[in-house]
Amino acid sequence: MNKIVVTGGLGFIGSNLVELLINKGFTVINIDKVSYASNFYNVSSNKKNKKYKFFKIDINNKKKILNIFTKFKPICIFNLAAETHVDRSIDSPKEFINSNILGTFNILEAYRNYSKNNNKSKFIHISTDEVYGDIIKGRTNENYPYNPSSPYAASKASSDHLVVSYIKTFGVRAIITNCSNNYGPRQHPEKLIPKLIYNIINNKNLPIYGKGLNSREWIYVDDHCEALIKIFERGKIGNFYNIGSNLNVNNLKISNLLIKIAKTKINIGKNVKIKFVKDRPGHDMRYALNSSKLIKKLRWKPKINILNGLIKTFDWYLKNPGYYLTLKKRDITARLGNKFKW
């Protein structure tokens, strides 16, 4: 009875969650369709672990998903399978509708069927702070209205609404989490922090949208994963939980912090300079969560501050050059899918 399914477990957050769950004694069934952002390198340390099993399945394949649920009888499903990169959603929204909305529908259908005979299991749906839209002042609690700006955020908002409808209509035992911007080891370099680290290591310019003043609430991935496990153990069915660090840092400051860290570890090249580039369409200025519900009711709090987290992240990429070799060069250098490049 200690089996857990993680969808999207070859991705960034998913692979970190897989490792943490195994370290806590759970048997993990990892389901992933193996997209461009999936990486077997992320789970290589558990490849031969008896507590780890992998299945290449798209969550849109309801029949195969249900077969996995029926066979292993998991006590929890963490649904992290999703397209997540805003830039790519601008370039190609269709993939986000297919994975994030239709995929959520199909896995909910499979779980609804499975849970009829397993009524103590839980479905944890992982979402994002971007569903709340641009937050110029203050912080959003779980009752704040959704106001997504990008196709990505809209697709995640839609998936959240689907989960709520299944809770209310069918009594599905689900919980929804909305997390702020994650960073840490194993993150695909299409995202800001690993992109900057890659460019610093390889003596390239550091491209920053607009004037670099867009502010994000950065949380180290291990803190997010610990929160997810806490929510699985103690969270209330039918509830939303915000997960954030309560610390906002703009992109320009993140870039400068990484340059300072790099100077203590490597000889950086002459090309390592911040380069402001044309902003992307609909770029929200600020996201900010109020996570007091999680902190007070479930007694969770983040442990890794931004400086230590960036140091740990930089060290991981520096010590794992093989990670970049598993990626297509275009996926490292391109930012906005096929149409827009840095």
pTM equals 0.96
Structural domain contains residue 36: yes
Structural domain contains residue 115: yes
Residue 209: partners with Cβ closer than 8 Å, 6 or more residues away: 251, 276, 277, 278, 279, 280, 283
Query: Where are the extended beta strands (E) located within the chain?
Result: 3-7, 27-32, 52-56, 76-79, 122-128, 174-179, 181-183, 206-209, 215-220, 240-243, 248-250, 274-277, 334-336, 340-341
CATH number of the domain to which 91 belongs: 3.40.50.720
State how far the Cα of 109 lies from the Cα of 295, in Å rounded to an integer.
32
How confident is the model at residue 307, as a pLDDT?
Answer: 98
Domain that holds residue 84: 3-187+219-246+283-304
Structural domain contains residue 329: no
* Ranges of the chain whose pLDDT falls below 70: 1, 330, 333-342
How confident is the model at residue 334, as a pLDDT?
Answer: 63
Structural domain contains residue 234: yes
* Counted domains in the chain: 1
How confident is the model at residue 332, as a pLDDT?
Answer: 74
Structural domain contains residue 268: no
Structural domain contains residue 165: yes
DSSP label at residue 126: E
How confident is the model at residue 16, as a pLDDT?
Answer: 98
Structural domain contains residue 265: no
Which amino acids are annotated catalytic?
A: 129-130, 152
Structural domain contains residue 114: yes
